[in-house]
Amino acid sequence: MNHSLKGGVGLFLSLFMVSSVWAQKSDTWPVKNIRLLVPYAVGGPADLVARELAQVLSNDLKQSVTVENMGGAMGVPALSAVARAEPDGHTLLLAAFGNMVLQPLLSKHGGAELVSKLKPVGTVSTAPHVLVSSAKLPVKNVSELVDYAKANPGRISFASAGTGGTAHLGMEMFKSLSGTDVLHVPYKGSSAAVNDLISGQVSVLFSSLPSLQGLVDKGYVRILAATSASHSPATKNLPLMSAALPGFEYATWYAMYAPIATPKDVSDRINKALNQALKNSKLVEKVEAAGTELHPGSPEEVMQWTKRDQDKWSKVIQAAKISID
């Protein structure tokens, strides 16, 4: 075989190998089971969304998507596991804005360095909180709560599941926008906080709607308003906080992430599969019934949400001088 022929064959083989590798990267994901890590315990809102979503993705992709819960330690173990994983699209993270925005702002140990090692793949869902009062408190809406708090300085108490959580930060925003003097009562979990809300030991609480709907139906607690910027299927019959306190709005959100070195063609395929799954009518029905709204979207939208909430909550945290270290 002459040199020119050998060179031609070599070039052909090289191009074939490159094209084969590219095709494998672009066209064959996923090639094995997918791990979906959740930085929360089993049974919470994030776990519900993750498990329902994993089932749809498993059916669509013809590959098993397994949910792994890594609760505690501010979600750092879950973020760390995904940040260190092989960047091939088979280890993913379903994280809340608390993990990606609040914790890095509140603590030097809150995972800021891990967040920088993750890339957003797409938006997943949003869920408003509601402001709920004890039925024993003589108020029926936000305006009456503000008036009562001003007439009774220090007598309105806000429960939360812990310092620096969304319920606590919501209270700080309420204080700032309403000009009231209210008391923060942090608990080590939501169960004790809700029990004291029912008994009237504490006055009000910001929380997700599904977790309190049963108590609302029984008349033990009263919904005063939703925290969302506008109405959603879950809040269509509720007043909004912003109607009484202009500028007051927030919602929790979830997004999917992959290791930072994941190739763009792979993350694009994950985003396409994710958005398709989030439009599944049965999934939408199940999740909306639990007070969460699915939100197909792009990595760029995750970054927009992140920047928006970094700006908003950093001001609240700095003004209230909150730290969890």
Q: What is the mean pLDDT of the chain?
A: 89
With a cut of 80, say whether residue 13 has pLDDT above it.
no
CATH of domain 31-126+251-320: 3.40.190.150
Contact criterion met (CB below 8 Å) for 60 and 274: no
**pTM of this prediction?**
0.86
Q: Hey, is 267 helix, strand or coil? A: helix
Q: Which fold has domain 128-244?
A: D-Maltodextrin-Binding Protein; domain 2 (3.40.190)
With a cut of 80, say whether residue 177 has pLDDT above it.
yes
Q: What is the mean pLDDT of residues 101-130?
A: 91
pLDDT at 234: 74
Q: Where are the domains of the chain?
A: 31-126+251-320, 128-244
With a cut of 60, say whether residue 259 has pLDDT above it.
yes
Tens digits of residue pLDDT in 17-37: 444 444 444 468 999 999 999
Full DSSP string of 186-213: E-SSHHHHHHHHHHTSS-EEEEESTTTH
With a cut of 80, say whether residue 292 has pLDDT above it.
yes
Using CA atoms in the order 12, 16, 17, 18, what is the torsion angle rounded to 10 degrees?
Answer: 100
Q: What is the mean pLDDT of residues 250-265?
A: 96
Tens digits of residue pLDDT in 206-257: 998 877 888 999 999 999 999 998 887 778 889 999 999 999 999 999 999 9
Tens digits of residue pLDDT in 119-156: 999 999 998 899 999 999 999 999 999 999 999 999 99
Q: What is the mean pLDDT of residues 265-272?
A: 97
Length of the chain: 325
Bigger pLDDT: 288 or 270? 270
Domains 31-126+251-320 and 128-244 share a fold: yes
Say if residue 233 is preceded by a cis peptide, omega within 30 of 0: no
